[in-house]
Each structure stands twice: as C-alpha cells, then as structure tokens.
Amino acid sequence: MARMPSSVSVVTTDGPGGKWGVTASAVCSVSDSPPTLLICLNRESRAHSIIERNLAVAVNVLNEDQIGLSKRFFVKTEDEVASEFSAARWSQNASSPPVLKGAAVSLVGKVARTVEAASHTVFFVLVDSVATYDGGAKLKPVIYFDRDFQFLK
C-alpha cells in the first residue's frame, strides 16, 4: 500500500462530537453527479468516532507550503488540536467544519453512508461546497508515496 500514491488532506469536522482534524491520505473522488467523495479511516482513531457523530467534514487538500500541518494533525492531543484551530489559517461558519485557507481545494459535505471494510470505515460524503485556492502562485499539491511526501511540479 505504501506504493499507492495519494493526495494528503487534513479532514476536519465540527458538531455535537466536537471539533477535530486528522491527516488522511485515503481520500478520493467517487462521482461528480452528485459530487461525492470517500474517506477511509481506521475505526480505532479518535477522528473516526467524532466524524461518525458529527456527520459533517471538510477535506482540505494540502499545498506544499502546508506540509507542516499534516504532521501536526497526524498525532495530537486535545490541547494541540485546539491550538491548531485557533490559528488564523482557518475559516468557519456556524454550520460547517473548519476550512483551511490556501488549501489546493477544500470540499465540504455531509456523510451520506458508511461501509465497514477490514479495520477501516469508508465514509461516503455528499459534497455541498468547494473552495479553491487562488493565491496567484502555482499550486503544488502534496502527494504521499513510498512512506514520504512528494510534490507535483
């Protein structure tokens, strides 16, 4: 599985289960009509139970200059996640999860269905809104391949 390249995202959620974020590389498009994506999370992860309760997520695909966030959201305590969300790099309205400013793309939606597969749950998300980066610089999304970060040119 380490040789299966994938984008690197910080998946965020907020709602009755609390505010949380997790780094994920098992995220992909399912359909464009209706716009649907999937997120695979280990059922042992703290994010799993929070997303299962909140049923709302934002998938924030990271740019090269945001690689540090992936490491901070990989392993963290409650205090660390609260500190990350207090930074100015996030936007959020009352009815959505936090969206990362400057992400290559942020897709916000609701969990429509789940399927258990081995040690993970596949969350199927119907996308409600999409925000794209328009900072003028060339996008350099982060790819995870062979247990290391790679960058598109």
What's the pLDDT tens digit per position in 10-35?
Answer: 999 999 999 999 999 899 999 999 99
DSSP state of 75: S
pLDDT at 139: 74
pTM of the model: 0.90
**What are the residue ranges of helices labelled H in the chain?**
46-54, 67-74, 78-86
Q: Which residue has the tokens 């505010």?
A: 19
Least confident residue range of 43-57, 75-89, 98-112 = 75-89
pLDDT at 135: 64
Regarding predicted confidence, which is higher, 89 or 127? Answer: 127
State mean pLDDT over 94-114: 92
pLDDT at 4: 76
pLDDT at 96: 87
pLDDT at 29: 94
Residue 70 confidence class, pLDDT cut points 50, 70, 90: confident
Amino acid at 53: R
pLDDT > 70? residue 75: no
Number of neighbours of residue 141 by Cβ within 10 angstroms: 19
pLDDT > 90? residue 152: no
Domains of the chain, each with CATH number or no CATH: 6-151 (2.30.110.10)
DSSP state of 65: G
pLDDT > 60? residue 136: no
From the list 5, 9, 74, 18, the residue with the least C-alpha distance to 49 is 18
